[in-house]
């Protein structure tokens, strides 16, 4: 494996570590805030920006996104995205240790399987030249991204309506996860497109000018901001161990399929390395899908037993 491949894989792992630790810190901070009402966006923004704990988590998430952008200039989508998805292991562990959400046997099995998929992906890149694409047709990018943004907002919006109505369906986090996953997937496509700016310019001034003049910077900003606001509401209303897996599998599958196609990237030519990479991707996808199908009925029994009469409804809702 080349030095560049090692660097790309390490950056992807650093990106997912920073991003998901930041996510858990945000979730903990949101637990100390009043319910977020996305009909009053300025009030929500003020609440978030005045919380030091939330800002700390947000700073870590931004660090993760920066590392992801650099990683995508070195390694192809089919390697980077499953590595980013491996951060689910951290989410499950930290959900148990920090947020006191129960980590069941199935989740522990999933964490080990995700770790195995990371090893297989690393082996699939050994001794190969990364076939990393940096440019895509703007027309095709718009044709894919715009409908995805609309669909993401509509799907996540269905959970918001249920949350506001007293007799609405329980907020399970599945719709929140699907909607935000699509929006984060669009943001990842924009980040991938921006990675071409880094490779196309060799000076700091050229990079800054290229980023500012690129429509993908603003597409990334818009999709990420909307996704972030919806995701904060999801984290506050639902368990992180439900919302995060659904969102992660949606964004991962979306990004790998759309990104590989739009940026004309290719899988390894060697049958052995192709098998390793496809197996690694398949293992990650199976685990993410399995975990995403968990329901609130599988919430910790211990939490329910400790809840008082006035708290039981809230435990069930989550």
The pLDDT > 90 percentage for the chain reads: 9
Average pLDDT score over residue span 183-208: 80
Residue with tokens 């964004």: 251
Return the percentage of the chain with pLDDT > 70, whole number.
Answer: 72
Would you say 246 and 206 are in contact if contact means Cβ atoms under 8 Å apart?
no
Measured CA to CA, the distance from residue 90 to residue 81 in angstroms comes to 16
The reported pLDDT for the residue numbered 133 is 65
> Domain of 175?
3-317
pLDDT of residue 55: 94
The answer to whether the beta carbons of residues 59 and 22 sit under 8 Å apart is yes
Residue 135 has what pLDDT? 76
Pairwise pLDDT comparison (45 vs 117), residue with the higher score = 45
Quick one: 235 exposed, middle or buried, by C-beta within 10 A (0-12, 13-18, 19+)?
buried
pLDDT greater at residue 78 or residue 186: 186
User: What pLDDT sits at residue 1?
Assistant: 54
pTM: 0.69
Res 56 pLDDT > 50: yes
Band of pLDDT at residue 10, cut at 50, 70 and 90: confident
The string of DSSP codes covering 125-175 is HTT----------HHHHHHHHHHHHHHHHHHHHHHHHHHHSTTSPP--SHH
Residue 197: per-residue pLDDT: 73
Mind listing the pLDDT tens digit for each residue in 268-291?
Answer: 677 887 888 788 778 877 776 676
Segment 219-232, tens digit of pLDDT = 888 898 898 888 88
Please say if the pLDDT value at position 71 is more than 90. no
- Give the number of domains in the chain: 1
């Amino acid at each position: 494996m080349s030095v560049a491949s090692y660097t790309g894989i390490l950056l992807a792992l650093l990106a997912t570590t920073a991003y998901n630790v930041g996510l858990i810190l945000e979730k903990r901070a949101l637990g100390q805030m009043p319910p977020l009402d996305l009909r009053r966006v300025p009030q929500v923004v003020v609440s978030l920006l005045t919380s030091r704990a939330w800002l700390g988590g947000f700073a870590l998430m931004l660090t993760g996104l920066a590392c992801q952008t650099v990683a995508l200039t070195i390694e192809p989508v089919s390697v980077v995205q499953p590595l980013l998805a491996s951060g689910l292991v951290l989410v499950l562990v930290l959900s148990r240790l920090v947020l006191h959400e129960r980590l069941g046997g199935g989740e522990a099995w999933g964490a080990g399987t995700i770790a195995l998929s990371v090893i297989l992906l690393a082996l699939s890149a050994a001794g190969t030249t990364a076939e990393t694409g940096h440019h895509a047709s703007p027309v095709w990018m718009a044709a894919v991204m715009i409908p995805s943004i609309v669909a993401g907002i509509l799907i996540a919006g269905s959970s918001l309506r249920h949350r506001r109505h007293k007799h609405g369906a329980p907020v399970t986090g599945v719709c929140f996860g699907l909607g935000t996953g699509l929006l984060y997937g669009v943001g990842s496509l924009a980040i991938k497109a921006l990675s071409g700016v880094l490779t196309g310019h060799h000076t700091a001034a050229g990079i800054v000018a290229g980023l500012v003049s690129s429509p993908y910077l603003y597409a990334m900003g818009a999709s990420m901001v909307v996704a972030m606001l919806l995701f904060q509401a999801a984290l506050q209303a639902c368990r992180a161990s439900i919302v995060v897996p659904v969102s992660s599998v949606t964004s991962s599958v979306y990004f790998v399929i759309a990104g590989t196609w739009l940026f004309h990237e290719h899988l390894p030519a060697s049958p052995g390395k192709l098998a390793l990479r496809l197996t690694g991707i398949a293992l990650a996808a199976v685990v993410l899908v399995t975990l995403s199908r968990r329901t609130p009925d599988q919430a910790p029994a211990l939490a329910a037993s400790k809840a008082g009469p006035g708290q039981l409804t809230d435990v069930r809702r989550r």
